[in-house]
């Protein structure tokens, strides 16, 4: 017992300040790739090496449509290495969660030169993933709300609907003293019947489809679903095949998507807090319905 107290005193506080304080992210961390769309002369090398099809090109007559889907990205950094022109850069950005699937997708259309390279950028639609909502004020508002409405806590049921367990490692880390989710009034529960939120990893397998649906139905209203990782969003590197049905939203409605492979604990935290903003809206609309 003496050793336990001694060690606790020696160790002191290890919990990080995020989201109140900025996250310490190592220099080598591979976060979101960013694209200088107007300067990008050829998307094909990056497209060719992308393991999950997060970067895809489509040749329309005399035009090239380039689609970037952060939902499929596994943050391997191959695109920046293959591109080599400086138009693709790997950043340390990790706050990528989005409420709408479309917000993770950017589409650029170019004219095509005779040599196959891209000419002018003629059309562009940017997903909002790159311009995130600030979490800190949101987190503050939300904490007040969940403290008021949900008995001072948010209960999460984690569901592995077929993952490789990489996401489970990072979700599990939220419980350790470093990330300590409890400090925000959020905790994991053992049953969907006790839960306000399902945090679901994928790809959803055929064998887990029914179990996920039953878990969703067992969760009382109001409830939210957060899809975690490239596989939870769209099936990731496994894709759609005889044994999978793809992302979580193929089975149950999803409120927030958290990209990553796996998302680091800070990114999970960001996504969960983003979802809570949605919770607030939903509760208010329910009240006005009644």
Q: Which residues bind other proteins (CB under 8 A)?
A: 1, 3-4, 7-8, 10-11, 14, 26-30, 49, 51-52, 74-78, 158-173, 175-178, 188, 190-192, 203, 205-208, 211, 215, 231, 236-244, 261-262, 264
Q: How far is the CB of 258 from other proteins (least distance, A)?
A: 15
Q: How far is the CB of 89 from other proteins (least distance, A)?
A: 14
Q: Are 111 and 118 in contact (CB under 8 A)?
A: yes
Of the pair 133, 168, the CB lying nearest other proteins is at 168
Q: How far is the CB of 142 from other proteins (least distance, A)?
A: 23
Q: Which of 259, 230, 202 minimizes the C-alpha distance to 51?
A: 230
Of the pair 95, 103, the CB lying nearest other proteins is at 95
**Pairing assessment for the beta strands 33-35 and 118-125 based on DSSP bridges:** unpaired
Tell me the C-alpha distance between 207 and 193, whole Å. 22
**For the chain, what is the radius of gyration of the CA atoms?**
21
Q: How far is the CB of 73 from other proteins (least distance, A)?
A: 11
Angle between helices 265-289 and 166-173 (to 10 degrees): 80
Q: How far is the CB of 165 from other proteins (least distance, A)?
A: 4
Q: How far is the CB of 235 from other proteins (least distance, A)?
A: 9
The Cα angle at residue 241 between residues 235 and 247, in degrees rounded to 5? 25
Q: What share of the chain is helix, strand, coil (3-state, %, to 5)?
A: 40, 20, 40
Of the pair 215, 249, the CB lying nearest other proteins is at 215
Residue with tokens 């961390």: 29
Of the pair 267, 274, the CB lying nearest other proteins is at 267
Q: How far is the CB of 123 from other proteins (least distance, A)?
A: 29
Of the pair 74, 142, the CB lying nearest other proteins is at 74
Q: How many CB atoms lie within 10 A of CB 177?
A: 10
Of the pair 191, 285, the CB lying nearest other proteins is at 191
Of the pair 84, 148, the CB lying nearest other proteins is at 84
Residue-wise burial string across 92-131, b where 16 or more C-beta atoms lie within 10 A, e elsewhere: ebbbbbbbebebbbbbbbbebeeeeebeeeeeeeebebbe
Helix (H, G, I), strand (E, B) or coil at 121: strand
């Amino acid at each position: 017992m003496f050793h336990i107290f001694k060690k606790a005193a020696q160790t002191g506080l290890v919990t990080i300040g995020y989201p109140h304080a900025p996250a310490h992210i190592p220099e080598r961390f591979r976060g979101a790739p960013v694209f200088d769309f107007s300067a990008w002369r050829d998307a094909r090398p990056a497209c060719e090496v992308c393991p999950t099809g997060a970067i895809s090109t489509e040749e329309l007559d005399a035009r090239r449509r380039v689609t970037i889907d952060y939902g499929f990205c596994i943050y391997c950094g191959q695109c920046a290495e293959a591109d080599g022109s400086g138009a693709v850069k790997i950043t340390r950005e990790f706050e990528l969660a989005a409420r709408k699937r479309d917000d993770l997708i950017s589409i650029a259309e170019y004219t095509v030169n005779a040599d196959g390279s891209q000419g002018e950028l003629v059309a562009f639609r940017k997903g909002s993933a790159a311009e995130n909502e600030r979490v800190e004020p949101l987190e503050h508002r939300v904490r007040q709300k969940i403290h008021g409405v949900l008995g001072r806590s948010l209960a999460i049921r984690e569901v592995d609907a077929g993952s490789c367990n990489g996401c489970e490692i990072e979700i599990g880390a939220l419980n350790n003293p470093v990330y300590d989710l409890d400090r925000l009034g959020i905790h994991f529960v053992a049953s969907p019947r006790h839960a306000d939120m399902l945090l679901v990893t994928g790809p959803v397998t055929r064998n887990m489809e029914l179990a996920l649906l039953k878990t969703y139905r067992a969760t009382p209203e109001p409830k939210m679903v957060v899809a975690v990782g490239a596989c939870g969003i769209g099936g990731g590197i496994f894709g759609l095949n005889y044994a999978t049905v793809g992302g979580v939203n193929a089975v149950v409605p999803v409120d927030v998507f958290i990209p990553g492979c796996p998302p680091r604990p800070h990114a999970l935290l960001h996504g969960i807090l983003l979802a809570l903003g949605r919770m607030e809206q939903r509760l208010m609309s329910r009240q006005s319905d009644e």
